[in-house]
Amino acid sequence: MIYADNAATTQMSRAAIDAMVFHMENIWGNPSSLYEFGQKAQEAITSARAKIAKCINAAPNEIYFTSGGSEADNQAILSAAKVGAKKNKKHIISTAFEHHAVIHTLQKLEREGFEIELLDVHENGIVTPAQVEKAIRPDTCLVTIMFANNEIGTIQPIAEIGAICRAKKIPFHTDAVQAAGHILIDVQKQNIDALSISAHKFHGPKGIGVLYARKNFPLSNLIEGGAQEKGKRGGTENVPAIMAMAAALEESCANMAANTKKLLTIRNKIIDGLNKIPYSILNGDFEKRLPGNVNFCFEGIEGESLLLHLDDRGICASSGSACTSGSLDPSHVLLAIGRPHEIAHGSLRLSFSEYNSEDEVEKIVTAVSEIVEYLRNMSPLWKDKLSGKKDFVLEA
C-alpha cells in the first residue's frame, strides 16, 4: 500500500506508540488524585505540557489539552465571541476556505446574530495582511485565519496578520492543525493569541489536541466539569494520548529540517510528473505551500472515480478534505480559489509524510496518468471537447 493521505491522518510514530502503551500500563492513576501514584500522572502531563509549549515557543501554562483540533477551534472561537457579545462587538473576520470545524462554528454564530466576514483567498489560496487590515472594524471581536490549508496546503502570512491584530488589539486565532510539526510555529514571533493543534496530523494518536491560548486571550470553557486545565476544560485527562502527542510533536519538531528536505523532493517530483498530464492544474501557490501537499484538478474527471481506481492499485489518496467525502458537493476550498464546479469535481489531493519514500513517486505518477487517460476515454463529454463541440476549461 502507498499511503498518500497524511493530511487526513498519519500513522502513529514508534515513539508515540511506546509513550502511549507505557503510560497505559504503568501511569494509569488519575492526575487529580493526591496520592503519589496519581501525582505521577500529573507530573507526566506537566512534562508533556512543557515539551509542547517549547515546540511552539509558548509558556506551559498557556497549553490546554482538548479532544483534538475541532474542539480547540470551537473553544477558541466561541470564547472570543462570548466576550465580544458582552461588549456588543459581533464582527468576526475569517477566510472562505477554513476547515469545517471553523466554518461551521462561525455559521452557528451567524445564526446567533454575529456578522461573519470571510476574506477572499484569491486564486493562489492566500489572504493578504492588507485585506485583514481593511476588514477590521471597531466592533471586530476576533480574527481567525488558518495557518496552512488542509486541502491545497497554502501557508498564510500569519506573522504579518498577527502583527496587525496585535496593533489593533483584536484577538487572533489560527487553526494550525496542518502546520504543527510540519513547519515552524513560534507564537511569539508570529503574534498569535490562540492556536489549535491536533496530534493525529503529526504521527500522534487521534482524539487529542491542544489549544494554545495566550494569557490575555478571553478563554471560556466549552466543557463544564472538574478543575482540570485550570477549570477551562473539565474531564479527566487522557494521559496516554497526551504523552503520545508530546512525544510525536517533539520528534516532528526535532526532525523538521530533514523531513522538509525529503518531502520537498517527493512533492516537487510528483508535481512535475502530474503537470505533464494535459488539461490539468496545480491548486494553490507553489512556493507558499506545505512541503507534503500536492493538489491537482484534472478536467473531465470525477475525483471519486479517480480515487477508487487508485485504491484498486493500492494507493490511498483524497479528493480534498476527508470531511467532504461522502457528499457530492465540490470542495468549498476549490470553489474559494475560483475553480469552476466542473473542474473542482476533478480534484486529487496527495499528502505525504516522512514515512513516504521517493520510490513511490513514479508509481503514483504513472497510476494517476493512466487512470486519468482511461476515465477521459470513457467519457462522452470528453469526446465532445476533443471534437470541438464543447470548450476546454483548462489549458492543454
Ligand X SMILES: *Cc1c(COP(=O)(O)O)cnc(C)c1O
- Catalytic positions are 323
Contact string (CB under 6 A) for ligand X, positions 326-365, x = contact: ----------------------------------------
**Please, what is the minimum distance in Å from the beta carbon of residue 7 to ligand X?**
6
- Contacts of ligand X in 96-135 (CB under 6 A): 99, 101
Smallest distance from ligand X to CB 207, Å: 7
Q: Is 178 one of the binding residues for ligand X (CB under 6 A)?
A: yes
Residue 315: strand, helix, or coil: strand
Task: Single out the residue of 35, 12, 33, 37 nearest to residue 23, CA to CA.
Answer: 37
**Which one of the spans 16-24, 196-204, 308-316, 366-374 is the region binding ligand X (CB under 6 A)?**
196-204
d(CA 209, CA 229): 13
Strands 140-144 and 2-3, by their bridges, are unpaired
Count of residues in contact with ligand X, rule CB under 6 A: 15
Torsion of CA 71, 77, 81, 84, to 10 degrees: 130
Among 52, 53, 153, 175, binds ligand X (CB under 6 A): 175
State the minimum distance, in angstroms, from the CB of residue 235 to ligand X.
16
Give kind and range of the element (H or E) at residue 209.
strand 209-213
Our CB check for ligand X shows the closer of 201 and 345 to be: 201
The answer to the question of residue 209 lying near ligand X (CB under 6 A) is yes
The distance of closest approach from Cβ of residue 31 to ligand X in the complex, given in angstroms and rounded to an integer, is 22
Least distance to ligand X from the beta carbon of 150, Å? 4
Nearer to ligand X, 153 or 303 (CB): 153
353 Cα distance to chain centroid = 14
Candidates 131, 191, 198, 283: give the one binding ligand X (CB under 6 A): 198
Which residues, 6 or more positions from 328, have their beta carbon under 8 angstroms from its beta carbon?
A: none
3-state DSSP assignment of residue 172: strand
| Binding piece for ligand X, criterion CB under 6 A, among 62-70, 160-168, 327-335, 354-362 | 62-70
- Whichever of 101 and 344 has its CB closer to ligand X, that residue is 101
Say whether residue 70 binds ligand X (CB under 6 A): yes
Residues 64 and 86: beta-carbon distance below 8 Å: no
Which residue in 31, 68, 204, 205 binds ligand X (CB under 6 A)?
A: 68
Characterize 351-390 residue by residue with b for buried, 16 or more Cβ atoms within 10 angstroms of its Cβ, and e for exposed: bbbbebeeebbeebbebbbebbeebbeeeeebeebeeeee
Q: Does 177 bind ligand X (CB under 6 A)?
A: yes
- Cell 493543534, residue? 197
Quickly list DSSP for 274-287.
HHTSSSEEE-S-SS
**Sole binder of ligand X in the list 10, 62, 69, 347 (CB under 6 A):** 69
Min separation Cβ 43 and ligand X, Å: 26
- The reply to whether 150 sits near ligand X by the rule CB under 6 A is yes
In what side-by-side order are the strands of the sheet with 347-351?
A: 280-282, 293-298, 347-351
Closest CB to ligand X among residues 81, 177: 177
Residue 300 contacts residue 381 (beta carbons within 8 Å): yes
Cβ burial 33-44 (10 Å sphere, 16+ → b, else e): eeeeebbbbbeb
The interface region with ligand X, picked from 37-45, 68-76, 106-114, 135-143 by CB under 6 A, is 68-76
- Furthest C-alpha separation in the chain: 79
Nearest residue to the partner ligand X, using Cβ: 69
Asked whether position 289 contacts ligand X by CB under 6 A, the answer is no
Q: Which residues in this chain contact ligand X in the complex, by CB under 6 A? A: 68-70, 73, 99, 101, 146, 150, 175, 177-178, 198, 200-201, 209
